[in-house]
Amino acid sequence: MRFWKFHKWMTLALVFLLLLPVTSRSVQAETSKQSITITLDGNQINTDVAPYIIPKVNVTMVPLRVISEGIGASVDWQQATKTVNIAHDGTSMSLTNGKKTALVNGSSVNLDATVQITNGRVMVPIRFISENLGMQVLWNQQAKSIALLSDSYIPDPKQPQGLHGAWISTVTNLDWPSAKAVGNIDKQKQEFTTMLDKLKAMGINAVFVQVRPAGDAFYPSDLVPWSKYLTGTQGKDPGYDPLEFMIEETHKRGMQFHAWFNPFRASMDTDKSKLAANSVVNEHPDWIVPVNNQLIINPGIPEARQHIIDVIMEVVKKYDIDGVHLDDYFYPYSGTFNDDSTYKTYNTAGLSKADWRRDNVNKFVQQLGKSIHAAKPSVQFGISPFGVWRNKSTDPTGSDTRAGVTAYDTNYADVRTWIQNRWVDYVAPQIYWSMSFKAAQYDKLVDWWAAEVAGTGVDLYIGQAAYKLGTTEVGWQSSQEIINQLKYNEKYPDIKGNIFFRATNLINNPLGLIPALTAYYQQ
């Protein structure tokens, strides 16, 4: 009896052990099928075979049906060679089972994972194929979902409260227009509207577009030449009014348009032969100071400051802008700025050179603010200074930082005076460091700036460094850094929003920032 009971127990145990792997695989397959979902432009793609992830390489494999029926690509499976040929909108690909390279439009490209045949079904790497078909692939780890976004897709998310902006740099064709679009009106327009759509989709509701990158204009001006970044030649008419177009398209989408001016930069290099006849460099050479291989308008000359104010006011009066925005370029960050003769001529109050320089910038900011508000009280006036005003080691009222440069001592930007006198409607300090960067810690700087604007009526927007995600600087190895910073901003009611530097860095989705940012704004 005992032997029979033991034999019976062993038989049952062996049956259980034999069934366990099968049951386990079945559960895993079902779990995988339930947990990994795929959408294209917001519409779910159904599949009868569960997608799965190849361990270590973290590549998601999907059945070929997703490519043919879900994405709508032409698919041809060659059983003899175990090769799949995929074609869609002018792109062709060829992937072979067991081969770690693929052909994309005839060129060999390395694969992280080859085509697999699982349970008689052909499985292919979804990210590789989708990205080569021009789609954006967003993986949400928490939801275990894959979102495929085509260029034509324009989602309409819940828009966040407050201002959430992006700087659009035009200098050297950084963000817009691209170098490929120089001299091409249709391409410039298409690039800008596509950029707006993508920014709005992730929750951005304001753009700060650089309309004066270097003593020039992205609009027809009576005072300064057309920018060379539109046509390749300074002074050449691009054939349309880019500023009017950009404002119209921005407002059409319910977004704010702020005209961003670099006030004192006259040229990005010292080659005067390529400058237009009506460049300030040619018309007023006595205003120009060469430094760091650039040409700078001297802030110490009253007529030069008034010229810049006149240029900005031309835009305020002619265009339906929501704001005038200045960056942090007043006196240059480095190099020798030779203004000794100007200092002797205009320093009638007997100030030290540092105080005199700050006074020059103060007069400029005060007069510009008065001019804007007198002409159009509804137009906001704001400035984005360097993120550190002064270090506590230099000034007890400064921030607990160890910055090598400061707004007050390097750029001669006395932001505290602007705030206390309400010469500006807002400040947007560029706090481009992480929570763990000890020399200039993000949270400590936010604390300092929030205290600085408290009770003044001046709004605070935080300038945030999307461009640093994925760099080696401490703290920027995960997109969660940006989300943590946004959550930290919520502590202070005086923080009315944020501005990201810069648009292309957002759109490129560094470290998966787009889905994280969209989810944060929609919460």
- Using the Cα atoms of residue 347, residue 279, residue 169 and residue 218 in order, give the sign of their dihedral: positive
Helices within 319-432 (DSSP H only): 340-346, 353-375, 415-420
Q: How confident is the model at residue 17 (pLDDT cuts 50, 70, 90)?
A: very low
Q: What is the DSSP letter of 386?
A: B
Per-residue pLDDT at 179 exceeds 80: yes
Q: Which amino acid is at 40?
A: L
- Using the Cα atoms of residue 85, residue 86, residue 91 and residue 96 in order, give the sign of their dihedral: negative
The CA-atom distances, in angstroms, between 92 and each of 75, 107, 279 are: 10, 10, 49
Half-sphere exposure at residue 69, Cβ-oriented, CA atoms within 13 angstroms: 11
- Using the Cα atoms of residue 390, residue 493, residue 421 and residue 357 in order, give the sign of their dihedral: positive
| Mean per-residue pLDDT, 283-308 | 98
Q: How confident is the model at residue 5 (pLDDT cuts 50, 70, 90)?
A: very low
Query: pTM for the full model?
Result: 0.73
Distance between CA atoms of residues 296 and 280, nearest Å? 10
Residue 39, pLDDT score: 82
Distance between CA atoms of residues 262 and 210, nearest Å? 8
Residue 22, pLDDT score: 38
Q: In DSSP terms, which residues pair with 33 in a beta bridge?
A: none
Residue 506, pLDDT score: 96
pLDDT in tens, 420-431: 999 999 999 999
Three-class secondary structure of residue 86 per DSSP: strand
Report which of 300, 297, 286 is spatially closest to residue 264, judged by C-alpha positions: 297
Q: What percent of the chain has pLDDT over 70?
A: 90
Q: Where are the strands (E) in 1-126, listed by range? A: 37-40, 43-44, 52-54, 59-63, 74-78, 83-88, 91-96, 101-104, 107-110, 116-118, 121-125
Per-residue pLDDT at 154 exceeds 80: no
CB-CB contact of 77 with 64 (8 Å): yes
| Mean per-residue pLDDT, 100-107 | 92
Q: What is the dihedral of CA 405, 408, 411, 412, to 10 degrees?
A: -150
Residue 20, pLDDT score: 42
Per-residue pLDDT at 155 exceeds 50: no
- Top-confidence range, 53-62, 85-94, 292-301: 292-301
pLDDT in tens, 329-365: 999 999 999 999 999 999 999 999 999 999 999 999 9
Classify residue 427 as exposed, middle or buried by CB count within 10 Å of its CB (0-12, 13-18, 19+).
buried
Distance between CA atoms of residues 292 and 290, nearest Å? 7
Q: What percent of the chain has pLDDT over 90?
A: 76
Q: How confident is the model at residue 233 (pLDDT cuts 50, 70, 90)?
A: very high
Per-residue pLDDT at 33 exceeds 60: no
Report which of 124, 135, 127 is spatially closest to residue 88, judged by C-alpha positions: 135
Q: At what angle do helices 513-522 and 480-489 cross, to 10 degrees?
A: 30
The rounded Cα 394 to chain-centroid distance in angstroms is: 33
| Mean per-residue pLDDT, 297-309 | 98
Residue 142, pLDDT score: 54
Q: How confident is the model at residue 15 (pLDDT cuts 50, 70, 90)?
A: very low
Q: How confident is the model at residue 404 (pLDDT cuts 50, 70, 90)?
A: very high
Distance between CA atoms of residues 319 and 505, nearest Å? 28
Distance between CA atoms of residues 445 and 435, nearest Å? 10
Residue 152, pLDDT score: 63
Per-residue pLDDT at 198 exceeds 60: yes
Which of 86-100, 202-216, 224-238 is predicted with the least confidence, judged by mean pLDDT? 86-100
pLDDT in tens, 435-467: 999 999 999 999 999 999 999 999 999 999 999
Report which of 464, 394, 396, 397 is spatially closest to residue 435, judged by C-alpha positions: 464
DSSP 291-328: ETTEEEE-TT-HHHHHHHHHHHHHHHHHS--SEEEE-S
Residue 42, pLDDT score: 66
Per-residue pLDDT at 167 exceeds 80: yes
Per-residue pLDDT at 28 exceeds 60: no
Residue 48, pLDDT score: 78
Q: At what angle do helices 185-201 and 242-252 cross, to 10 degrees?
A: 30
Per-residue pLDDT at 405 exceeds 60: yes
Residue 218 phi/psi, 5-degree rounding, is -100, 35
Mean confidence (pLDDT) of the chain: 90
Residue 95, pLDDT score: 94
Residue 46, pLDDT score: 82
